[in-house]
Amino acid sequence: MNKKNKSKIIQRILNNTYPEVPIPLNYKNTFTLLVSVLLSAQCTDVNVNNVTKNIYPRYNHPKHFVKLGRKKIEKLIRKIGIFRIKAKSIYYLSKTLVDKYKSKVPNTYDELEQLPGVGHKTASVVMSQGFGYPAFPVDTHIHRLAQRWGLTNGKNVVQTEKDLKLLFPEKNWNKLHLQIIWYGREYCKARDCFGLTCKICKSCYPNRKKKFITKKA
């Protein structure tokens, strides 16, 4: 079975499983979406949501975090992994938005990726969920699933993103990347399915007998 046929099967299963797909991170506006995505690096969305539910009602604008300063931001997010590094990024990110963008989150990849702590994946999520532009954010989890499902041989998330964009219609990208995230969490877990038991894996590889080992991103 070629990649294009697999992609059609996968799209059908995902659409049947998640006709409506929730956004994993809770946020109040585009700025807090950006902060939440930044906080989610090496951290679960559940943990981020638990921490930010006590922050965003009071602090949800770049000027709020500039006024707080790094040390107070650290105290607010101390339950999140590498919180000192993230607090530094949030502070300087907020300061840049206030000084350079009149406190508005820019809506281009180039401008977003120049902000402190913002990489391509974070920018893609904001472009997709914050501004509605077609984007296909790929993290290590989507990279793992794309390999497991035979959609890419990419050794890194950059190549995997390119491969997925070629296989799926642009109009589906925003919803599809969320569908893949939820499916991976519920059915095709890293230490559970191993490419053998979930519906997508069995449909794409009905004769697979051995555990599939993912190449690290």
Q: How many CB atoms lie within 10 A of CB 118?
A: 20
pLDDT for residue 215: 72
Q: Which of 139, 155, 210, 215 does the annotation list as catalytic?
A: 139
pLDDT for residue 214: 78
pLDDT for residue 217: 63
Q: Enter the CATH code of domain 30-130.
A: 1.10.340.30
Give me the phi and psi of 54, to 5 degrees please: -95, -5
User: Is 99 labeled as catalytic in the residue annotation?
Assistant: no
User: Is 139 labeled as catalytic in the residue annotation?
Assistant: yes
CATH class of the region 3-21+136-204 = mainly alpha
pTM: 0.91
**In sequence order, what are the residues at sequence separation of 6 or more whose Cβ sits closer than 8 angstroms to the Cβ of residue 110?**
none
CA nearest to 173, candidates 43, 25, 14, 38: 14
pLDDT for residue 14: 98
pLDDT for residue 1: 85
Q: In the chain, where are the structural domains located?
A: 3-21+136-204, 30-130
Instruction: State the Cα–Cα distance between residues 127 and 171, nearest whole angstrom.
Output: 14
How high is the mean pLDDT in each 10-residue block of the chain (217 residues)?
94 97 94 97 93 97 98 96 96 98 97 96 95 94 94 91 96 96 94 92 93 76
Instruction: State the Cα–Cα distance between residues 142 and 139, nearest whole angstrom.
Output: 6
Q: Which of 121, 163, 165, 171 does the annotation list as catalytic?
A: 121
pLDDT for residue 190: 86
CA nearest to 146, candidates 126, 121, 120, 166: 166
**Would the CA dihedral through 152, 154, 156, 157 be positive or negative?**
negative
